[in-house]
A = this chain, B = another copy of it.
Amino acid sequence: MHISRMSTLDPKDIKLLARLQKNGQISAQDLADDLGMSASQISRRRQRLEAEGYILGTPCRLNPDRLGLNVQAFIQVETRAQTNGTHQSIKRLVATTPEIVAAWTLTGEADYIFRVYCTDLAALNRLVQEVLLPHESIGRVHSQIVMDQVKDDTALPLPR
């Protein structure tokens, strides 16, 4: 019998993932030269890592400034009653509002925090006044605007 290894990552896997999360389009040959192995191995390892669920996808990162998305903010949201439909209701809101690019619930003052991109302060204000506050499940909101983006990778820390 054999058990599909679901291998633990070896050092070459770690380096490969590190390179890929910097640049998902780097050629297998370049990676091969870099890691001291053949391009075909890079290709196979990459397929294996994807199949095993390490790689979620390879989206392009767009430039918010270039797109006129000049205002970035976090919006803390207090829900009303917290009936049992609240969470689904918020999920729908988040899914259908493109300005909300990410949303979490946190420990502590629980409720929700949204990360949003808008073209300007007026648009942010419209989002709050015309979309969030009128929403059935939302009580109060508190916006904090991003002044300085010190770092914004999506690069995760890797083992070792």
Interface range, A side: 35 or more
- CB distance A55 to B61 under 8 Å? yes
- CB distance B54 to A157 under 8 Å? no
> A62 to B59, alpha carbons, bound, how many Å?
11
The chain B residue sitting closest to A50, CB to CB, is B60
Q: A52 at interface (Cβ–Cβ under 8 A)? A: yes
Q: A131 at interface (Cβ–Cβ under 8 A)? A: no
- CB distance A104 to B157 under 8 Å? no
User: Known interface pairs A68-B159, A144-B107, A159-B67. Does A153 touch B61 (Cβ–Cβ under 8 Å)?
Assistant: no
- CB distance B107 to A61 under 8 Å? no
- CB distance B22 to A59 under 8 Å? yes
Contact with B along A105-131 (1 / 0, CB 8 A): 111101011000100000000000000
- CB distance A157 to B117 under 8 Å? yes
The residues in A between 45 and 59 inclusive whose CB is less than 8 angstroms from any CB of B are 52-59
Contact with B along A75-117 (1 / 0, CB 8 A): 0000000000000001100110011111111111010110001
Contacts of A25 in B (CB 8 A): 24-25, 58
The chain B residue sitting closest to A157, CB to CB, is B98
What are 29 A-B pairs with beta-carbon distances under 8 A? A20-B60, A21-B61, A22-B57, A22-B59, A23-B58, A23-B59, A24-B25, A24-B59, A54-B63, A54-B66, A55-B60, A55-B63, A56-B61, A57-B60, A57-B61, A58-B60, A61-B154, A67-B158, A74-B106, A98-B158, A99-B157, A100-B151, A103-B151, A105-B146, A105-B150, A106-B146, A107-B145, A107-B147, A117-B156
